A = this chain, B = another copy of it.
Amino acid sequence: MLYFENDYSEGAHEKVLKHLIDTNMEQLSGYGHDTYCERAKQKIKEACECPDAEIFFISGGTQTNQIVIDAMLQGYEGVIAATTGHVSGHEAGAIEFTGHKVLTIPQENGKISAEELKKYLTTYYGDASYDHMVFPGMVYITHPTEYGTLYTKSELEEISAVCHEYDLPLYLDGARLGYALASAGTDVSLTDIANYCDVFYIGGTKVGALCGEAVVFTKNNMPKHFFTSVKQHGGLLAKGRLLGVQFDALFTDSLYFEIGKSAISCAQQLKDAFRDKGYTFYLDSPTNQIFIVLENEKMAELQKEVVFGRWEKVDENHTVARFVTSWATKEEDVKRLIELL
């Protein structure tokens, strides 16, 4: 079988794994107080060109979203997100579990706009009884989005400007950030993200690590006693090294960026093939997720040899399928899939 189902079906990138092996028997302090965590933080700061950044490693994406959002919001505040945002629907209510409402606004291909955000905020504060409602306390975006789409630099800038007008931190969920940064068409760099966002996370789980996300607070704004908050939420690993060592490897010799490019290259070959063969794209994604409208018969035929995602039903005869490449995708598998199309 060929696997194009998701970007977390293998273990770790070989260089990440090698670093784990090489450092395995070193005796290190626990809870992230080790030299590899320190080194990884230093390298990430450099990659972000943000020397004052404060960084914390957490095991997974939902946990990261839960902890960061809860720690940054006041008790009476909620977080604004796209209706399709990962926190809105696909985290089993992890945000609400901590007492905060997810306040949804419309999206287009997974993206929110400065206009919709502004409209939400003016409507909210224009309501005479706004203090009977949940205060917006933060804005959450994903980059790439759940549909693999990307914000442009000017879009980010505009959203950031609205956020700061209303004194709302902007939080970017970068579960697949490596694939965004490596996208051919993007004008958004890691430095831009550090510049426009108040906090964001660099996804490791889907970009070459066994597990782990690096939360970056960019404005000297890590919440007080964040270490304790992470512990309180259940997110502190005794062997914090597991995350530090992996991010140390990912940010050595630009590995994180290189493996992103590899996935994007595979995705581009696939997209070209889908286009050449006349397939209908559900939407145009410049990253590692490809959404194709398939006839159900064709889908059934392909599923005999390829594992991919069934995204949603279009009509009785058509379904949106999702094909995903990753740092681990092999050129030969891409070629075999193209032959099958």
User: Which residues of A pack against B, CB within 8 Å?
Assistant: 3, 6, 8-12, 14, 17, 20-21, 23-30, 59-63, 66-67, 70-71, 74-76, 78, 89-94, 96-102, 126, 128-129, 131-135, 205-206, 210-211, 224-225, 227-229, 231-239, 241-242, 310, 313, 328
The docked-state distance in angstroms from the alpha carbon of A242 to that of B59 is: 12
Say whether A129 contacts B76, CB under 8 Å.
no
Contact A94 B8 (CB under 8 A): no
Q: Provided the pairs A234-B235, A239-B11 are in contact, do residues A131 and B96 lie with their beta carbons within 8 angstroms? A: no
Q: Please list 27 pairs of residues, one from A and one from B, whose beta carbons are closer than 8 Å in the complex, sorted by A's number.
A: A10-B24, A11-B24, A11-B25, A11-B26, A11-B242, A17-B21, A17-B24, A59-B211, A60-B234, A61-B238, A63-B234, A63-B235, A76-B93, A76-B228, A78-B93, A89-B133, A90-B129, A91-B132, A91-B232, A92-B132, A97-B99, A126-B313, A131-B225, A135-B225, A135-B228, A211-B237, A234-B235
Residues of B within 8 A of A76 (CB): 92-93, 225, 228-229, 232
Residues of B within 8 A of A12 (CB): 24
Determine how close the nearest CB of chain B comes to the CB of A319; give it in whole angstroms. 12
Complex Cα distance, B90 from A92, in Å, reads 23
Q: B residues within 8 A CB of A126?
A: 313
* A75 and B66 contacting across the interface, CB-CB below 8 Å: no
